[in-house]
Chains A and B, each alone.
Chain A
Amino acid sequence: MSISNWINSNILENKENIRKQFLEANFFEHISINDFLIKERAEKLFEALKEEKYYKEENDLYNFMRTVDFKNTKNKLIIEFRIFLFSEEFISFIEDITNSNINRKVMDLHSLKLENTNYLLCHDDLVLGRQFAFIFNLSKNWKEEDGGKLELFESDNKGEVLGKIFKSITPNFNQFNMFKVQKISYHQICEVVSNKERISIGGWYHV
């Protein structure tokens, strides 16, 4: 199946511009694109996630709900989505906009759910092998006052994090976020402060 069955056509047409935005981003390579997937696909994914089981995870850094890795899911739609993310065509697209080579054999994929009072404090995502982190946000009608923003931190010339946020991204429905995992890819998900659920599918492409 071609990726034009999954992604809005204007995204594919805009590839050069997206590539430029990603590679020339401040502090560390990142991009946030609204209306990324074809709307019906995003809607169905959101519905499909209702059948997945989430497990509460909590430590000093975070408090949220997460599924296990989707490599073993029996959920047909999620299997299809995973195949799409793993497809040669989509990986080539990501390689083009990131100017990189991506491992065809390894990918992590799971869903995250944050409820009222949940958060994920500042971290860099650095784990051996991870190259790009990506997040598809799927919560509907998310408002700024619901919290749950993805925030990116500035760092100094030694690569140490500063207490200063240079980008704050409200998690809109059908928004795609991606950044290059590196020592300075400092980011957090702010506390959710309403009774809405912040739901996303995310994962990592590897080197």
Chain B
Amino acid sequence: MFKKITKIYLESEVKQQMSEFFDEENFIQLNNFFEKDIDKIKSKLNYSKFDLKYNPMKYKFKELDLKNIYDLEIIELVEFFKSKEFLEYIEEITQIDLSFKDLNLRKYLQSDFTLLHDNQEKEDIIEVIFDLSDNWKEEFGGILTYLTKDEEIFYLSPIFNSLTILYKPEYLIKYLKYINNKSKGKNIIRFEIKFDIED
């Protein structure tokens, strides 16, 4: 998979710039992250069976059971996000020593949401989101909002084939806005990856 990353994101000079941007902003979004084969994976995921995860006071979405994937291309992508080379790539951009914590593959459709009550990390982490969403509009809902106790500070809209890296301090909480009927069957599909920050 590493070879399928859009070439420019692997160039030393560009990585240097990305790293500087991340240092300033605490996040970076890389659009068109993979160069090829990603449409095929998207359509496979559209037809994969996701399990409903529903706690009315916390969240509603669908999740793919990663122990139960048989499609080689999906497995390859999951393994890539868990791999040492991907970890090193994220370390290079963030300039932070990391260890892999967690990966979830989730799908959000109409009537899905996550609330602020949802379990939130007790420590600073690095969040990485690889997005395979349908063509999305803000009016559908589904915007991921990061906020402190006082103000909303960061919004993440679904963008197909984008990789977002975010430094998430423990005091930052988030929710995914309820997806309404304007979304008409479109979905958000995301690999949600977390890295612990090493001391």
Contacts of A117 in B (CB 8 A): 139, 141, 180-182
Interface residues on B, range: 20 to 34
Q: Does A123 contact B57, Cβ atoms closer than 8 Å?
A: yes
Using known A-B contacts A60-B115, A60-B116, A61-B115, determine if residue A121 contacts B178 with beta carbons closer than 8 Å.
Answer: yes
Question: Which residue of chain B lies nearest to A61 when distances are taken between CB atoms in the complex?
Answer: B115
- Does B178 lie within 8 Å of A191, measured CB to CB? yes
Q: Total contacts A to B, CB within 8 angstroms? A: 43
Q: Which residues on the A side are within 8 Å of B130 (C-beta)?
A: none
In the complex, B185 has a CB within 8 A of chain A: no
- B179-191, CB under 8 A of A: which get 1 and which 0? 0111000000000
Q: In this assembly, does B55 line the interface, its C-beta being within 8 Å of a C-beta of chain A?
A: yes
A121 pairs with B181, CB closer than 8 A: no
Complex contact A191–B115 (CB within 8 A): no
Residues 3-48 of A at the B interface (beta carbon under 8 Å): none
Residues of chain B contacted by A121 (CB below 8 angstroms): 56, 113, 115, 178
Known: A60-B115, A60-B116, A61-B115. A191 touches B57 (CB 8 A): no
Interface of chain B: mostly helix, strand, loop or mixed: mixed
Q: Is the interface of A mostly helix, strand, loop or mixed?
A: strand
CB-CB under 8 A for A191 and B180, given A60-B116, A121-B113, A161-B57: yes
Chain B residues whose C-beta falls within 8 Å of the C-beta of A61 in the assembled complex: 115
15 A-B interface contacts by CB (under 8 A): A60-B115, A60-B175, A116-B181, A117-B182, A121-B113, A121-B115, A122-B56, A123-B57, A147-B181, A153-B56, A162-B56, A163-B56, A163-B60, A186-B57, A191-B180
